[in-house]
Structure 1
Amino acid sequence: MRNIKIGLLGKVILAIVFGIVAGLIFPDWISRIFITFNSLFSNFLGFIVPLIILGLIAPGIADLGKSAGKLLIITSVLAYGFTIFTGFFAYFSCNIFYPSLLGSINTIPKVDDAAKTLEAYFTLGMPPLLDVMSALILSFILGLGMAFIKGETLKKSMVEFKDIIMDVINHIIIPILPIYIFGIFLNITVSGQVESILSVFIKIILLIFILTVILLLIQFSIAGIVAKVNPLKALRNMMTAYLTALGTQSSAATIPVTYQQTLKNGVDEDVASFVIPLCATIHLSGSMLKITACAMAIMMMNGMPIVPEVFIGFIFMLAITMVAAPGVPGGAIMAALGVLSSILGFNEEALGLMIALYIAMDSFGTACNVTGDGAIALIINKIYKKEANKPIEAYSE
């Protein structure tokens, strides 16, 4: 039994199940212990999110900025364009389907109402060193500045700071998340809203899965037109990478398989070895689809207004922020917490449900990301053939 390892997705599912069971049988005084823990952890998240933004985004922008080459620029723009398109695709699709799928605003369970049913025994203030928007602006300034001056002193310091933040994510936040989600669903169960909220979750997950299939068909249709290949055959060749990503939940861990399947689509080895590792970092269409769709669902559940102008800014900012997503399960949602709170106004309870809903289908988003990398590789390969005499500059981490 000690050799059995449960991944983050499995732990989150168990946390949801155990939280529902505990909410039915625990007396209030025990439940309030977990509510107290959640209050403390929520305050810690509020403190650490600006530091996550600063520690991940600034070095990420510096790495991209210091790289050079026409194909790097084209690949980056194409990956960003695919991700932005996905954000608007998700926004308009959810605007069409959510009203009938989830019901009217008045019938959707309110997350805040559930979260306020029980109170913590005590709380501990953990004010952040700077607010989220200040952290974003400072990250862009430092990242672009480090790339422009090509200095190494500050860069080394920021890389070490990034390592510290990654340790906090990997050894504190990620391991504690299942307990946090357990407390959220325990509280929701006590409030009597767990059945309605779970039914909403299931509908959202099914819709997002369907949207990922449609998105991949669109991406490979575009690639097929540009590269003059059969899009369905190219997509079928990438299914091995898709299935591998379902198991690993990591774009980085799937790179060898993605690379091999890209070669089967006729992509040049130099192009594949350049595009696939780069896109594993900067192309996050699947993550964009999940976060946008989940955010809209949580906002409807909270009765928050969904303003088109706000979501436009949210999508563009999210696409940039997720470039710095750490290569761990749930990494994209960790990088997105700051944008969710600063632009969409998510509170700690909404962020907690957002994390739970995102991780519940993390595999699908990762699989969509790596499969879409194959479409980008086909387009870049077509461009590369036109410039066959020009060497590709290697992408450096």
Structure 2
Amino acid sequence: MKGFGLLARIVLAIILGIAIGSIANEWFIQLFATFNGLFGNFLGFIIPLIIIGFIAPGIGSMGRGAGKLLGLTAFIAYSSTVIAGILAFLAAKSIYPTLLKGQSLLAFADPTEGLRSSFFEVEMAPPMGVMTALLLAFVIGLGIAAIKGEALLKITTEFRDIIHLVIERIIIPLLPFHIFGIFANMTYTGQVSTILSVFAKVFVMIIILHLLYLLIQYSIAGTLSKQNPFIMLKKMMPAYFTALGTQSSAATIPVTLKRSKTLKVRESVADFTIPLLANIHLSGSTITLLSCALAVMFLQGDMATFSSIMPFILLLGVTMIAAPGVPGGAVMAAIGLLETMLGFGPTMVSLMIALYLAQDSLGTACNVTGDGAITSIANSLSRRKKLTETDKVEAL
């Protein structure tokens, strides 16, 4: 499987899981139940460390830079991410009752339910709770930014590199086997047809939402900069397709930077905002995560309310900071919130990972293409603000 990309491995794992699950005996299912239990426990252990590793250096490094432009860009990016989440919620709320009709009342219990317990279990208690990790990450990150702590920033950055290695060398390579076990179990218990049907429908809805949101972003950017939004979008297409191949906002930065400079923005603004946005603007990933999470919840007959989902969206926009450095990093960073705020169990988390990774490249492409719009908006607003301040000086 070494020559396969992550998406190909996920798809192959799903296909093999369905095929083998339909003919496997209970002993084989129990074997993978053991593996899934160990892997799930390890995920539970590493989640608080992922949160600290991603958020602390992300916030700490954001506190350095070009002053007002940094604040303006970060505010626009965070607002865009939150609005994307709200759009995904409203779409799911209105579309899922029809799109997933007849499937909401189906049982969505743990696929291993009814089977014997795994051969053995290994307890892997997390070093701290998810909310404790979030608070600690915020305190450390804000503290680094406030005191300009170079030494502490270096420590947290190196810790983030360690977490990246854990994700890249352990979690990502083992995920296909975990997903294989989940789909084999679901096939064994007769639940797989429901999941595949949901996969296809939600996949199409997510693509439509991505395109719609990009159109909204560029309509705003085009209005402020007095450009045609469709022409602006066309100029950013090389970045979109590069992100489809790399599955990484960070790896696409050179192309995104080059294309964003064709949108009539100042070079100094683009040089600063594009690398920043590659780590903090996650509108496409947010649409994907919300759509997938709400679909999984809908299968249980549980449709979240706006008041219950809004805190999740607000925290998600912060939790995913710096996650784009790793393919699938956004969903890894979000697992803790899914468990604590939306009540996801191990099986639901596994399905979320499968749903998300199956189209991670599309979410990344939406993020990257949207960076051009955010850069144009920041350029227009910062220029307008500068002109206003100049007018006031002249009036005096």
**Within 2, Cα distance between the matches of 1:50 and 1:335?**
9
The equivalent residue for 2:41 is 43
**Within 2, Cα distance between the matches of 1:72 and 1:177?**
36
2:225 is the alignment partner of 1:212:
no
Alignment of 1:347-362 (within 5 A): 347-362=345-360
1:108 positional shift: 4.0
Alignment of 1:212-361 (within 5 A): 212-361=210-359
**Within 2, Cα distance between the matches of 1:326 and 1:224?**
26
Aligned pair count reads 387
The equivalent residue for 1:369 is 367
Aligned residues of 1:212 and 1:286 also touching (Cα < 8 A): yes
Which of 32, 35, 38 in structure 2 is aligned with 1:34?
32
**Within 1, Cα distance between the matches of 2:244 and 2:107?**
31
Deviations, residues 117-167 of structure 1 (Å, cap 9, x unaligned): 434222111111111111111111111112212223333332222222111
Specify the code of the residue in structure 2 equivalent to 1:116.
E
**Within 1, Cα distance between the matches of 2:258 and 2:104?**
50
Alignment of 1:86-235 (within 5 A): 86-104=84-102, 106-110=104-108, 112-118=109-115, 119-235=117-233
RMSD of aligned C-alpha atoms?
1.8
Specify the code of the residue in structure 2 equivalent to 1:268.
R
**Within 1, Cα distance between the matches of 2:99 and 2:129?**
36
Query: Structure 1's 117 and 209: CA in aligned 2 closer, same or farther, altered over 3 A?
Result: farther
1:384 positional shift: 4.3
Aligned residues of 2:54 and 2:323 also touching (Cα < 8 A): yes
Specify the code of the residue in structure 1 equivalent to 2:11.
I
Specify the code of the residue in structure 2 equivalent to 1:99.
P
TM-score of the aligned structures, taking structure 1 as reference length:
0.93
1:106 positional shift: 4.4
1:72 positional shift: 0.8
**Within 1, Cα distance between the matches of 2:242 and 2:154?**
34
The equivalent residue for 1:10 is 8
**Within 2, Cα distance between the matches of 1:163 and 1:181?**
26
**Within 2, Cα distance between the matches of 1:260 and 1:151?**
32
Q: Which moved more, 1:158-167 or 1:205-214?
A: 158-167
Deviations, residues 280-317 of structure 1 (Å, cap 9, x unaligned): 11100000000011110111123335132120100000
1:369 positional shift: 0.3
Aligned residues of 1:12 and 1:360 also touching (Cα < 8 A): yes
The equivalent residue for 1:394 is none
1:102 positional shift: 0.4
Q: What percentage of residue pairs aligned between the two structures are identical? A: 51
Specify the code of the residue in structure 2 equivalent to 1:368.
C
The equivalent residue for 2:393 is none
Deviations, residues 192-224 of structure 1 (Å, cap 9, x unaligned): 111121011110101111111111111111111
Aligned partner of residue 149 in structure 2, secondary structure: coil
**Within 2, Cα distance between the matches of 1:7 and 1:298?**
25
Structure 1: gaps of 5 or more residues: 391-397
Aligned residues of 1:117 and 1:187 also touching (Cα < 8 A): no
Specify the code of the residue in structure 2 equivalent to 1:264.
T
The equivalent residue for 1:395 is none
Aligned partner of residue 66 in structure 1, secondary structure: coil
1:326 positional shift: 4.5
Structure 2: gaps of 5 or more residues: 390-396
**Within 2, Cα distance between the matches of 1:88 and 1:195?**
29
TM-score of the aligned structures, taking structure 2 as reference length:
0.93
**Within 1, Cα distance between the matches of 2:13 and 2:124?**
26
1:104 positional shift: 4.6
**Within 1, Cα distance between the matches of 2:160 and 2:110?**
37
Specify the code of the residue in structure 2 equivalent to 1:137.
L
Specify the code of the residue in structure 2 equivalent to 1:250.
S
Deviations, residues 31-76 of structure 1 (Å, cap 9, x unaligned): 2111100001101111110111112211111111233411111000
Specify the code of the residue in structure 2 equivalent to 1:121.
F
